[in-house]
Structure 1
Amino acid sequence: MPSNVALVPAAPPEEALMHFERRLRLETDCWDTHHALNEQEQDFVLLDVRSPDLYEAGHIPKAINLPHGKIIARKMRGFPDDTLFVVYCAGPHCNGANKAAIRLAKLGYQVKELIGGIEGWKDEGFDLVTGVI
């Protein structure tokens, strides 16, 4: 009798490759984002899509605050069409980042979700900053 892990057969390697490559096209993690913000040229815009109050209480360094409901064409005009946005909200229990990603994609922007959100950032031991940028 197979274990609960092996009870449903694993996908063929080609299918697994497509699945995991696709996930990396749609999301990034806290370690890669932290490294990029601190060690590399920043080639993306980090958007905190939570409320201004939550942003001021603590956000990821270099993030700008734009609540997901306020992502509209008029507010995005200042960004080049080829801008890559990385969006985050509170964490896995919040869908604000998904809502922001939908809005950005509908406006024609490239977007990735920061998996884990701010809670994932804190879980990794990375610092937050307070106040408004």
Structure 2
Amino acid sequence: MSQVLQFPPPSPQQSLDYLQNKLAYYADAWDVAEDLAHQIGEIVVIDARSPEHYRAGHLCGAINFPHRTMNAESTARLDRSKVYVTYCDGIGCNGSTKAAYKLAALGFRVKELIGGLDFWQRDGHPMAWGDAPGEWPESASGAQCGC
């Protein structure tokens, strides 16, 4: 018996529904890089790690907002019309999930960056260091996606 077919595949409509929902929750590094390069103002990228880790290197254009400090008071300054894309170190870290959870619980629209900083660096997207989000380099706006 086929190992793949041991559990029957979903109907095309079930697959469509599931995959649409999955894409609603996540963004990948290439999509986020494209939006940052084109200065899409509807998204804000949040580095949910500690300030020390943020200073040591972060996505160019991301703001630092550690998930441990997120609450109703600290998020009051955030624009509720934006979509917040959270990230942390990578798939072995759940800081982005905790940040997205806290923001969603407070009424914000959120997505998580698949693979976090690890996948961002692996794909060669621009980085920034220090306390500032950093300016997107013009030379980085033509990145190619391998998928």
TM-score tier, shorter chain, comes to: over 0.9
Hey, what does 2:141 align to over in structure 1? none
> Which digits, 9 at most, give the CA deviation of each residue in 1:55-108, with x for residues without a partner?
101000110001101111112112222221000001100111111111001110
| d(CA) in 1 for partners of 2:36, 2:26 | 16
Unaligned runs of 5+ in 1: none
Task: Report the residue type matching 1:118 in the other structure.
Answer: L
SS of 1:100's equivalent in the other structure is: helix
Is the counterpart of residue 28 in structure 1 residue 23 in structure 2? no
Hey, what does 1:87 align to over in structure 2? 86
Hey, what does 2:45 align to over in structure 1? 46
SS of 1:45's equivalent in the other structure is: strand
CA displacement at 1:7 relative to structure 2: 2.7
Hey, what does 1:9 align to over in structure 2? 8
Hey, what does 2:142 align to over in structure 1? none
What is the aligned length?
A: 132
Unaligned runs of 5+ in 2: 133-147
SS of 1:6's equivalent in the other structure is: helix
Hey, what does 2:143 align to over in structure 1? none
Task: Report the residue type matching 2:35 in the other structure.
Answer: A
CA contact (8 A) 2:42 2:81 kept: no
Hey, what does 1:108 align to over in structure 2? 107
SS of 1:102's equivalent in the other structure is: helix
| d(CA) in 2 for partners of 1:83, 1:109 | 8
Hey, what does 1:128 align to over in structure 2? 127
Runs of 4+ in structure 1 deviating by more than 6 angstroms, as ranges, are none
Task: Report the residue type matching 1:93 in the other structure.
Answer: G
Show the 5 A alignment for 1:48-67.
48-67=47-66
TM-score (norm 1): 0.94
Is the counterpart of residue 69 in structure 1 residue 76 in structure 2? no
> Which digits, 9 at most, give the CA deviation of each residue in 1:26-76, with x for residues without a partner?
111100000000024231111000111111010001100011011111121
CA displacement at 1:24 relative to structure 2: 1.1
| d(CA) in 2 for partners of 1:79, 1:112 | 15
CA displacement at 1:125 relative to structure 2: 1.5
